[in-house]
Amino acid sequence: MKKVVIIGNGIAGITAARHIRKHSDYAITVISAETEFFWSRTALMYIYMGHMKFEHTKPYEDHFWKENNIDLFFGRVNNISSGQNMVICTDGTKFTFDYLILATGSKPNKFGWEGQDLNGVSGMVSYQDLEMIEAHTHQIERGVIVGGGLIGIELAEMLRSRNIDVTFLVREKDFWTNVLPSEDAAMISAHIREHHVDLRLETELDKILPDDNGNVRAVQTIDGEIIPCQFVGLTAGVHPNIDLAADSGIETDRGFLADEYLRTSVPNIFAVGDCAQLRNPPPGRQPIEPLWYTGRMMGEVAAKNITGTPVAYTPGPWFNSAKFFDIEYQTYGQVPHDCPDNQHDFYWQHQSGRKAVHIRFGKEDLTLKGVNSFGIRMRHELFDTWLRKGIQIQEFMDKLEDVNFDPEFFEDHSGEIRELFSQKFPQIRIKAGRKRNKILGLF
């Protein structure tokens, strides 16, 4: 019987384990030093906020793994010997393998700031980070968050849920402008301030200052301003966790380098999820994509390749979703900060300042390139289909009602969006639209 060892029990590693079991009787061992059982890391913030307990975040009952012949080992891998097909744990336990899957995830970025390892400084990636945040934010007055991305905004919401004052240091002109177009970023920045977050733009962390006991007492910005605080959250992005690469014989760059089948430079070793770096990413995709849904897809692809069904990793059009306090965000296709010269840009914002749609489409071929949606939940499967086939902007605008995910419960703004679009692009003829079938809208 062939043996598969998986290092990491996040969504990528566990998806691989489940699909290997689905397609084979291989022996499977999942090794994790984070938690004994798989849990939903996207729920980390809700544990802190008291919306759920840790046990509620486990998608499977504890007995699921034994019933499906998936062995779990709670421990840390110290060394990979690709020549001997063996992993060695810190306690001396050894596992041999026919196939190895690296699903080691990512680690918070640290940029050598003075004081970055003080008590009360933490990232927000792992369960251990959650425990550290819990321990160091009890009855504190202020926390400082460094880095304006999706992890940072989650941490801000967490701290505000306990009435902790938050100062948010963002080096860009508005929140997340390295990703969002200016209009989108300005709207989200205003919304962050509505939630009583002290959002400091166009500034950066210089150093973290200690008290006499080695705890955080303040941060100092590059402008020399000292901000007293008792906790610092480092959320300036993440990088692949490739600590195990040393002496493994596995080729790395920023991550474990993998081909389109997710094989590393060692043919029987695969890399999936945040730690994987594609040598030749598909068009419109990045070499490293630390996202939950890409990790899930990679896990399934690796499982198929290991169990004898060769398949390349083809994730399709870009998609992501998040939540900025009260505003849900979805992005489909490509909507970068700067609009390419060969594309048109269209932006609609509701008068409430909490809903917006940002659309990009080609100037010559009029095909839809990407959409950002804020406060309006849309149908992922429709966007995926339309972007793959190259839907034209006229057809997309005609079918706006169809992409509204929950029309029975939320106001439909399709008419307003079309009206503004016609004013900006009178040369593009679109229909007046239609009301969606209410019965179909329930499903």
- CATH, residue 438: 3.30.390.30
Question: Would 155 be classed as within a structural domain?
Answer: yes
Which CATH number do you get for residue 47? 3.50.50.60
Entry pTM: 0.93
pLDDT for residue 294: 97
Residues 149 and 8 in one domain: no
Question: Would 113 be classed as within a structural domain?
Answer: no
What distance in Å separates the CA atoms of residue 329 and residue 368, rounded to the nearest whole number? 19
Question: Would 219 be classed as within a structural domain?
Answer: yes
Q: Order of strands, edge to edge, in the sheet holding 165-170?
A: 121-122, 231-234, 142-146, 165-170, 197-201
Instruction: Please choose, from the candidates 143, 204, 197, 138, the residue with its C-alpha nearest in 3D space to the C-alpha of residue 169.
Output: 204
Q: Residue 241 phi/psi, 5° resolution?
A: -85, 100
End residue of a domain, out of 236, 262, 286? 236
Q: Is 282 left (phi over 0), alpha (psi -120 to 50) or beta?
A: beta
Identity of residue 195: H
What pLDDT tens digit does each residue of the chain (443 aa) get? 999 999 999 999 999 999 999 999 999 999 999 999 999 999 999 999 999 999 999 999 999 999 999 999 999 999 999 999 999 999 999 999 999 999 999 999 999 999 999 999 999 999 999 999 999 999 999 999 999 899 999 999 999 999 999 999 999 999 999 999 999 999 999 999 999 999 999 999 999 999 999 999 999 999 999 999 999 999 999 999 999 999 899 999 999 999 999 999 999 999 999 999 999 999 889 999 999 999 999 999 999 999 999 999 999 999 999 999 999 999 999 999 999 999 999 999 999 999 999 999 999 999 999 999 999 999 999 999 999 999 999 999 999 999 987 655 567 899 999 999 999 999 999 876 655 544 344 33
| Neighbour tally for 50: CB within 10 Å | 9
Question: Would 202 be classed as within a structural domain?
Answer: yes
pLDDT for residue 404: 84
Question: Would 112 be classed as within a structural domain?
Answer: no
Q: Count the domains in the chain.
A: 3
Residues 59 and 132 in one domain: no
What distance in Å separates the CA atoms of residue 191 and residue 411, rounded to the nearest whole number? 20
Residues 8 and 95 in one domain: yes
End residue of a domain, out of 213, 236, 259? 236
Tracing tokens 């760059």 back to the chain, one arrives at: 253
What distance in Å separates the CA atoms of residue 259 and residue 270, rounded to the nearest whole number? 9
What distance in Å separates the CA atoms of residue 200 and residue 283, rounded to the nearest whole number? 36
Residues 173 and 255 in one domain: no
Tracing tokens 């801000």 back to the chain, one arrives at: 156
pLDDT for residue 415: 92
Mean pLDDT of the chain: 95
End residue of a domain, out of 257, 277, 306? 306
Residues 417 and 360 in one domain: yes
Residues 225 and 247 in one domain: no
Question: Would 92 be classed as within a structural domain?
Answer: yes
What distance in Å separates the CA atoms of residue 255 and residue 258, rounded to the nearest whole number? 9
Q: Is 105 left (phi over 0), alpha (psi -120 to 50) or beta?
A: left
Q: How many helices (H) and strands (E) does the chain have?
A: 11, 25
Contact by Cβ (8 Å): 184, 358: yes
Q: Write the CB contacts of 212 (distance below 8 Å, at least 6 apart in sequence).
A: none
Q: Order of strands, edge to edge, in the sheet holding 94-96?
A: 77-81, 86-89, 94-96
pLDDT in tens, 407-420: 555 678 999 999 99
Residues 330 and 366 in one domain: yes
Tracing tokens 């095909």 back to the chain, one arrives at: 367
pLDDT for residue 407: 55
Residues 192 and 160 in one domain: yes
DSSP string, 298-316: HHHHHHHHHTT--------
Residue-number span of the structural domain to which 210 is assigned: 121-236
pLDDT for residue 438: 44
pLDDT in tens, 66-90: 999 999 999 999 999 999 999 999 9
> CA-CA distances (angstroms) from residue 132 to 136, 176, 419?
6, 26, 51
Residues 224 and 284 in one domain: no
What distance in Å separates the CA atoms of residue 244 and residue 426, rounded to the nearest whole number? 58
Residues 212 and 249 in one domain: no
Question: Would 194 be classed as within a structural domain?
Answer: yes
Question: Would 115 be classed as within a structural domain?
Answer: no
Residues 185 and 159 in one domain: yes
Residues 224 and 244 in one domain: no
